[in-house]
Amino acid sequence: MAMTIHVDIVSAEESIYSGSVEAVIASAQEGEVGIYPRHAPLLTRLKAGEVRLLKDGKEEQFYISGGILEVQPHIVTILADTALRADDVNEAAALEAKAAAEKALNDKTAKMDFAEAQVQLAEAMAQLRAIERARKTRKH
């Protein structure tokens, strides 16, 4: 039986693959790497690209949008990113989150907040109840 190596491909959202294979081929930042059993411990960044797993002469492919490859003699772990990451994309996302916060803070006058409306509704209901009670006591 051929020597095998255990591979886990995980992302922050789910586990993508777990099993024994004969070799792993991935596109690392410095070039393509092929990992066979008893590879020296290695830690490297992965580029967006495909990860190929060789098993019984067949090949399985996964596309990942980047991540980190960790190799230990009998275990390979790929920490896959869930989305394409680039500094400017992240920057834009950060600005968006900031803008959303500012909008929520400034929007108080323009659009009544749901929570605020709830408070006003509760107040109005309390007033109505008080009026009703006053009416009842007057009747008796």
Partner 1 sequence: MASGKEIRTQIASIKSTQKITSAMEMVAASKMRKAQERMAATRPYADKILNVIQHLAFANPEYRHPYLQDREEKQRVGYIVVSSDRGLCGGLNNNLFKEVLHEIKSKSDKGLQVDICAIGQKASAFFSRLPVNMVAQVTQLGDAPRVHELIGSIKVMLDAYESGQIDSLYLVYNQFVNTMTQEDKFIRLLPATPGEPSQEMSHHWDYIYEPDAKEVLDDLLVRYIESVVYQGVVENIASEQASRMIAMKNASDNAGDLIDDLQLVYNKARQAAITQEISEIVAGAAAV
Kindly state the smallest distance separating residue 26's Cβ from partner 1, in Å. Answer: 12
Q: Which of 2, 83, 86, 124 binds partner 1 (CB under 8 A)?
A: 83
- Decide: 55 and 46 in contact? Cβ < 8 Å: no
Any idea what the Cα angle at residue 78 is, between residues 76 and 81, rounded to 5°? 175
Name every residue whose Cβ is closer than 8 Å to that of residue 69 and which is 6 or more positions away in sequence: 26, 28, 33, 35, 42, 43, 44, 45, 46, 76, 77, 78, 79
134: which strand partners?
A: none
Q: Is residue 22 close enough to count as binding partner 1 by CB under 8 A?
A: no
Q: Which of 1, 40, 110, 134 binds partner 1 (CB under 8 A)?
A: 40
- Check residue 112 and report its DSSP letter: -
Q: Is residue 110 close enough to count as binding partner 1 by CB under 8 A?
A: no
Kindly state the smallest distance separating residue 133's Cβ from partner 1, in Å. Answer: 18
**How big is the site for partner 1, counted in residues (CB under 8 A)?**
44
Instruction: Name residues contacting partner 1, limited to 111-130 (CB under 8 A).
Output: 113-116
Distance CA 27, CA 82 (A): 16
Fill in the per-residue mask, 87 to 106: x = in contact with partner 1 (CB under 8 A), - = not in contact: ---xxxxxxxxx-xx--xx-
Distance CA 26, CA 37 (A): 15
Q: Which of 20, 82, 120, 127 binds partner 1 (CB under 8 A)?
A: 82
At 86, list the tokens.
Answer: 């680039």
Point out which residues bind partner 1 (CB under 8 A): 8, 10-15, 28-30, 40-45, 68, 70-71, 77, 79, 81-83, 85, 90-98, 100-101, 104-105, 107-108, 113-116
